[in-house]
């Protein structure tokens, strides 16, 4: 069927809704630090005669933020008694130290240090006073803990996707029926014109 404007609209509405709610979740869960992930979210609708679908793009890091990342070894977490321990994402398909994602630990620690600076995190000295600067050390400490404990799943994308997907079959069926009705109507009028 070549004329599928209602189906195209239904799939576009689905994609737009999922991305909109995903962005809201990033903001609400304070995961939109630099705004790159937020701005990079997108979708593409493909409507054809044999198959129609929506492809979502979560950018470079979106899947890790959504599904979390297993830590390499939670027993190696640095810090005193107050340090939070334990695996953060036991069910994640991703894991630190196993994948093919490019980048060194130093690069990771440096980006975490930049994040700590933006957030205003600082170390304390022996007397409990805040130290100035030294975001390289903060980055290495936090990055080491993240590497070993992992990143907790946020499900910023998975939850809106699953909620919207439940409503999709009914909307697609209605849209397809409307497209079919449009095509039958157009064919009827075309044949009437030919007969005149």
The pLDDT of residue 75 is 84
CA 68/CA 22 separation, integer angstroms: 15
The pLDDT of residue 160 is 97
The pLDDT of residue 92 is 93
Q: What is the pLDDT of residues 113-132, one digit of tens each?
A: 998 888 888 887 777 777 77
pTM for the full model? 0.80
Average of per-residue pLDDT values in the chain: 87
Q: Walk along the chain (196 residues) and give the pLDDT tens digit of each residue.
A: 456 889 999 999 999 999 999 999 999 998 888 889 999 999 999 887 778 899 999 998 899 999 999 998 888 887 666 666 788 999 999 998 776 666 778 888 898 999 888 888 888 777 777 777 788 888 898 899 899 999 999 999 999 999 999 999 899 899 889 988 888 888 787 777 777 6
Q: Which two tokens stand for residue 164?
A: 């919207």
The pLDDT of residue 118 is 87
Other C-beta atoms closer than 10 Å to the C-beta of 93 total: 11
The percent of residues above 90 in pLDDT, for the chain, comes to 40
65 — phi, psi (to 5°)? -65, -40
Radius of gyration of the chain (CA): 25
8 A C-beta contact, residue 53 and residue 11 = yes
By DSSP bridging, strand 69-70 and strand 150-151 are antiparallel
Q: Which two tokens stand for residue 6?
A: 């209602």
CA 145/CA 131 separation, integer angstroms: 21
8 A C-beta contact, residue 157 and residue 22 = yes
The pLDDT of residue 56 is 97
């Amino acid at each position: 069927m070549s004329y599928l404007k209602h189906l195209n609209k239904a799939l576009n509405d689905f994609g737009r809704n999922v991305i909109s709610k995903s962005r809201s979740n990033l903001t609400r869960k304070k995961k939109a630090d630099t705004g790159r992930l937020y701005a990079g979210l997108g979708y593409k609708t493909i409507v054809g005669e044999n198959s129609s679908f929506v492809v979502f793009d979560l950018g470079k890091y979106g899947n890790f933020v959504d599904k979390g990342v297993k830590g390499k070894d939670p027993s190696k977490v640095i810090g005193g008694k107050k340090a939070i321990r334990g695996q953060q994402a036991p069910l994640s398909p991703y894991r630190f130290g196993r994948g093919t994602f490019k980048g060194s630990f130093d690069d990771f620690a440096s980006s975490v240090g930049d994040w700590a600076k933006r957030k205003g995190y600082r170390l304390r000295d022996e007397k409990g006073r805040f130290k100035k600067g030294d975001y390289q050390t903060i980055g290495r400490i936090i990055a080491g803990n993240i590497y070993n404990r992992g990143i907790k799943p946020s499900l910023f994308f998975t939850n809106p996707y699953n909620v919207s997907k439940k409503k999709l079959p009914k909307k697609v069926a209605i849209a397809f029926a409307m497209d079919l009705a449009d095509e039958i109507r157009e064919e009827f009028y075309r044949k009437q014109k030919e007969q005149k």
